[in-house]
Amino acid sequence: MTVGYFDNDSTNDREVKSLPLVVDELAREYSDHVWMKLPKDAELTTGWRDITYKELGNAVDGMARWMGRVFGIGRRATDVAAYIGLNDVRYAVAQVGLIKAGYMTLLPSPRNSQEGQASLFSTTKCKYLLYSEGVDAYVETIKSAVPGVQAVRIPSFDELVQQGAKATTPYPGAYGNRVDDKVLILHTSGSTGLPKPIYHTNGSIDTLGQLRNVPAPKGRQNNMNALFATEELLFAMAPFFHMMGTVVVWTSLLCRRPVCYAPPTKPPTPDLIIKCLNQTKPDVALAPPSVIEEIVEAPGGLDAISHLKFVFYGGGPLANGTGDKINQVSRVVAVIGSTEAGLVPARITEDKDDWNYFEWSPGCGVDMEKDGEGLHEMTIKPADKRVQAIFHTFPDISEWRTKDLFEEHPKRKGLWTYRGRKDDVLVLSNGEKFNPVGFEKTLESYAAIKGALVVGQARFQTGLIIEPEWHLVKHDDPAELVDELWPLVERANAAAPAHGRVWKSKIAITKRERPFKRAPKGSIVRRQTQELYKNEIDALYSNEGSDNELGPLSRDVDAAGAKEYLRRACKAKDFAIPEDASDDTDIFSYGIDSLQVMALSSTLSHATGTSVSPRVIYSNPTINGLAQYLSHGNDGDALAGAQQTSREEIMEKMIQKYTSDLSAESARESVSRPDKHTVVLTGSTGSLGNHILQELIASPDVAHIYALNRSEDAGSRQAKQFEDRGIAADFSKVTFLATNFGKDHFAILDSTYNEMLQSVDIFIHNAWAVDFNKTLPTYEEAHIAGTRRVIDFSLASTHNAHIIFISSIASVGNWFASNPNDKLVPERLSSTHSVALPQDYGESKHVASTILAHAAETTHTPVTIVRAGQLAGSAKSTSPWNRHEWLPSLILTSSSLNLIPSTLGTQDTIDWVPMDLAAKSVFEISTTSSSTTSSLTQVTHLVNPHTSTWQTSLLPTIHSRLSSAKIVPYSDWLENLKATPVTPEELEKKPGLKILDFYEALQAEGGGGLPPMDTVETQKVSETVRTMPAIDGKMMEKWLGEWGL
């Protein structure tokens, strides 16, 4: 076969041996060699027939001659003929014979819809349809969809052989051998829309023959070499019209590899396949995962497999248990490819246990690009076109993004396991992303579950549809089936992230008469199956919370009964609380999320017949605390007696805990400052942090930045954020570190931490959980203790790093209660803890600010407190205002309610700061000397000194966009929101339901309004604050557009 036709030559004029020429050579030089083994009868009782290359050559000639007589010789650049038939040898004969007669061959899937067939025939300008016996229904579908198509049934294989054999002169053929001659048309599955034709050329087909020549180190083997070894018999379970089926045909010719198939008229049951394997004794087998899994579970399946050198699978992931069983008796190997790109070569892994990993062959252009959350997308870039079909299929592209996601082996670099498609990833309405493939494959590894489909795109949580293996389950009733299968779902839940776990109430069972839609390779076609079960999926998410599996809870329940009920409720809602956990442990320390809190709130409200809001759970975050609340029947007086410690005392106790060992002995002498700054920035992937990082990178006065974030993939996320905003940034002076502020040295390696101590002179502490439902104790471990660790870092650092703490107006939101004579909150600290807004977020910021001020006082640590007000969307950049914050949530909720509040309660004065301008201000404050104040702690206010109002500046613009909405008093808007049932569906449309307490506080007299802030000193150190424009309708119009309104 031709090798080396492409040697960095950009043209496609070179020639390769097209399939008709290959068949002619094989028929001439290997005439008596077996090409294909086929069963003589469907029951496998009379043996197998060997078809030789000579017979194949005669059949191809016969097909080409027949086509010429019926429709004439084709004009190979324009004429297209389709073939559809039984899954037998005529698929291969038709492909090559039509090419030889001057036609491009279209292979439409018989499973395509009528609309899909019409689209394919129209797009490819196909006028001719050839077919075999046994497919009349498919043919009628196409004839109905494609008026005017000329449909003709082709002769049998033996008749074609005879027609070719009786010819007295060779058939000259009307085909070409140019690399870029288009000869075959396959198509995408149509799972995300109509099927799209994919044109294959002589060049793309020839790459399959070259793949087995990709080199491997001594003692290693390329998987393509093993799959396409010459003269070794391959048993193939792949439909001829599918890409994998055509690959088998092409390589059987290009690599002279004999192949055998199961009977075409019988369904491929495990028993039938096992018979085929036992009778033909092939060297290797290739099949979709679903078929392999069935064979392994069937009696005698593993014994039949044990005679194979290799078991190859492709088209999707294979269940771990199945692969491990095969590896005990044979060797399982994965292959991967696509209709567009053909196959991608990889080395067979050195360790058999790594069978579900790929080790890409170097030089074939595979580049694994980070895609966030530990996953990488396989991208193919130009390398050697001899083995890269994609650059023949699409010759004008510079790279091919496969959308296939992989995860690298935790210990062995360069090994990659498949994790699904980018299209598979569910994006929940709360912004969380979940790749369901692993979850689904875990469930499908159990014999009782034939198929599993996780749903939840744009919903508040995941749901699950299960297709049972009906003959293996005990019940027909869906509710009983869910109970029967629930233990298996629990095992899958155990390995899933919290936001991906499925609740028992979110499981539906398929109907016997409506099996999942599947692709030819056996994989579930996600989109079509979701459409098939649309009503059932909608039902899963309707009337959320109206049922309560646990039953009612008496208002007279005692504490012991309430605790027992709560433990069951937490388990039902999948709270990851250990069995032996203390009832006094904060449940949020186990990673409980807002969705689970909403669910528990709904359960307890229905159980008690009264409102148990999420705020009650956040305020009583232990089993004992909640049990006390429930056992007192929500009696405020009784609860008050149990909560005698004031919030001021709680804050003071926490402050003392983290300052008691700070003393003047720790004070530093004056230290030198470097010419250029080295900065630590925590929380760089958040909205404000993202913009601050942009300022730091752009500044020539900043030499290096250490970006500290909780996530391991912060760097790739950050790059994606900048890319989405259209920002070209040089990250070469940024070091991204995964950190834990609850651990010593922030859980950074000692060597890196010591390096930071030597160079850092500015520490911008921005990372903080903005959650108005959290309680002060839940802020302690990561945030309050983390702030003390920032102080420790500064004290140990060479340059006594200047700490810039991003605080909040909420930390002084109650200022006027203690200072009634002040007209503005001054830029100074207060020793009175009651100045903090009576909510735990504000209290946590006040506690941290006070701890930092104490450090400045006793140890002379340089500290600047930045009290940030309402940070809005950007004034100029493309970064949208986070939809989950209170103001965007209010407007999105207003759109759904069709009501707009006439005021913002106590927040009618607009002193908001656009996010991009806030970042510039923080940068200016951070890099300006604190000599402008005589205080050891500098306090600045990040608010807009130029104010506007909701009613005059913003409401007219909002109403112009939501023209059908009615403007109503704030109290009416709030009452309408409170009357909305708290279901996931409503939470999607009305995100304000999640922070209802916050909106209620805006209405309360003195409870929600934030005080006006003095900015005299801040304006001295920040030109951006000094010149900041007022928020107006033009800015609001920009934000509304970014929210899709």
Q: In what order do the strands lie in the sheet with 182-187?
A: 150-153, 128-131, 80-84, 104-106, 182-187, 197-201
Query: pLDDT grade, residue 528 (50/70/90)?
Result: confident
Answer whether residue 581 shows pLDDT above 90. Answer: no
Q: Longest Cα pair distance anywhere in the chain, in angstroms?
A: 114
Q: Alpha-carbon distance 341 to 960, whole Å?
A: 50
Confidence of residue 14 (pLDDT cuts 50, 70, 90): low
pLDDT value at residue 519: 74
The domain over range 425-540 is classified in CATH as 3.30.70.2190: no
Tell me what pLDDT residue 957 has: 93
Instruction: Report the distance separating Cα 698 and Cα 728, nearest Å.
Output: 10
Could you report the per-residue pLDDT of 939-954, keeping only the tens digit for each?
999 999 999 999 889 9
Please tell me the predicted confidence (pLDDT) of residue 550: 67
Q: pLDDT (tens digit, 9 = 90+) per residue, 274-324?
A: 999 999 999 999 998 878 988 998 899 999 999 999 999 987 778 888 899
Which residue's entry shows tokens 């059932």? Answer: 536
Classify strands 310-313 and 284-287 as parallel, antiparallel or unpaired: parallel
> Among 27-41, 824-838, 1002-1016, which is the least confidently predicted range?
1002-1016
19-204 and 212-419, same CATH topology: yes
Print burial letters for 903-934: b (CB count within 10 Å at least 16), e (below 16): bbbbbbebbbbbbbbbbbbbbbbbbbebeebe
Per-residue model confidence as pLDDT tens digits over 440-468: 988 988 888 999 999 987 676 889 999 99
What's the DSSP call for residue 885? S
Q: Percent of the chain having pLDDT more than 90?
A: 49
CATH architecture for segment(s) 19-204:
3-Layer(aba) Sandwich (3.40)
Query: Cα separations (Å) of 929 from 451, 481, 794, 1022?
Result: 64, 69, 17, 11
Query: Do residues 347 and 216 lie in contact, with contact meaning Cβ atoms separated by under 8 Å?
Result: yes
The confidence score (pLDDT) of residue 458 equals 64
pLDDT tens for 398-440 read 999 998 889 999 889 999 998 877 777 786 755 466 788 888 9
Higher-pLDDT residue of 160 and 170 is 160
DSSP string, 669-681: PP----SSEEEEE
Q: How far apart are CA 629 and CA 600, in angstroms?
A: 14
pLDDT tens-digit readout, 350-382 = 999 999 999 999 989 999 998 866 789 999 999
Average pLDDT value over all residues in the chain: 86
Domain ranges of the chain: 19-204, 212-419, 425-540, 559-644
The CATH code for residues 559-644 is 1.10.1200.10
β-strand partners of 705? 679, 734
Contact 448, 473 (CB under 8 A): yes
pLDDT at 9 over 60: no
Selection from 900, 683, 687, 870 nearest residue 783 by Cα: 683
| Gap between the Cα atoms of 403 and 421, Å rounded | 6
The third-level CATH classification (topology) of the domain covering 212-419 is Rossmann fold (3.40.50)
Note the pLDDT of residue 984. 63
Contacts of 779 (CB under 8 A, 6+ apart): 769, 840, 841, 844, 847
Binning pLDDT at 50, 70 and 90, where does residue 558 land?
A: confident
**Helical packing angle, 53-71 and 157-165, nearest 10°:** 90
